[in-house]
Amino acid sequence: MPLYRWDDVPLEQLNPLCARQCIHTEKLTVARIHLKKGAVVPVHAHANEQFTLLEKGRLRFTTSGQPVEVEPGQVVHTPPDAPHTVEALEDSLAVDVFAPPREDWRRGDDAYLRGPAPPAASRPPATAGPGETGP
């Protein structure tokens, strides 16, 4: 049985405000997401079911137009194909669990995360279709 330590999983810096560590298996992806205050994950949707467990900080999830603020110890469920965005209200650390695995992340096909995102207030409204991918 494999045993993983987050200290041994490489940290991938996606943009100045967001980094992640990923463990991929045949059936799921587990990712530790490091977000600095002000980080924004743009609106996107993916076929993967997602659970986000917040370890520290505070995040605002908006899923299918419904915002919710998440605090440490809370878990958010994002259904498959639901458009969603995340804003870090504080420096935050979250663990995301995806099923099936995030094949786009394995390939590095996740450009929406890899550039500096403009602040939430200055971005135009975005839409995402079910075929788009993201956390």
Judged against a pLDDT cut of 70, whether residue 2 lies above it is answered with yes
pLDDT digits (tens, 9 = 90+) for 7-22: 999 999 999 999 999 9
**Is pLDDT larger for residue 74 or for residue 108?**
74
pLDDT digits (tens, 9 = 90+) for 78-106: 999 999 999 999 999 999 999 999 999 99
pLDDT digits (tens, 9 = 90+) for 28-49: 999 999 999 999 999 999 999 9
Sign of CA dihedral 56, 116, 69, 89: positive
For the chain, domains (ranges, CATH) are: 17-113 (2.60.120.10)
pLDDT band, very low/low/confident/very high, at 131 (cuts 50, 70, 90): very low
